[in-house]
Amino acid sequence: MKKGERFFVVDLTSVSLFDAKSLNGIAKNETRYKEIPFLYLVSSYIRNSAIDIANSKLNYIAKKEAYSWTIYEFQY
């Protein structure tokens, strides 16, 4: 990326329900893990990972919510 460029993480909030701490707890509980649709777990993990990586490399600008979407904005 070039200085000043922006990076966006677009999240469908209705399928990425869990933060990192919640995911860790679910992964350690086999019964709970089996009850939750895998799509929710994977979507949550991808969103959390993308935001963590972006936070470590870029400057956080804003979080915007619109309908079922959340958009995280970062800048290099």
How many helices and strands in the chain, by DSSP H and E? Answer: 3, 3
- Please indicate, yes or no, if residue 37 is contained in any of the structural domains: yes
Helix extents (H) in the chain: 20-27, 30-35, 38-57
What pTM, to 2 d.p., does this model score? 0.86
Give the pLDDT of residue 10: 96
- Please indicate, yes or no, if residue 16 is contained in any of the structural domains: yes
Coil vs helix vs strand at 27: helix
Give the pLDDT of residue 16: 95
Give the pLDDT of residue 55: 96
- Please indicate, yes or no, if residue 56 is contained in any of the structural domains: yes
- Please indicate, yes or no, if residue 1 is contained in any of the structural domains: no
Q: What is the pLDDT along the chain (76 residues), one digit of tens a residue?
A: 999 999 999 999 999 999 999 999 999 999 999 999 999 999 999 999 999 999 999 999 999 999 999 999 999 9
- How many domains would you assign to the chain? 1
Residue 10 structural domain: 6-75
Give CA–CA dist 8/73, Å, rounded: 5
What DSSP character marks residue 72?
E
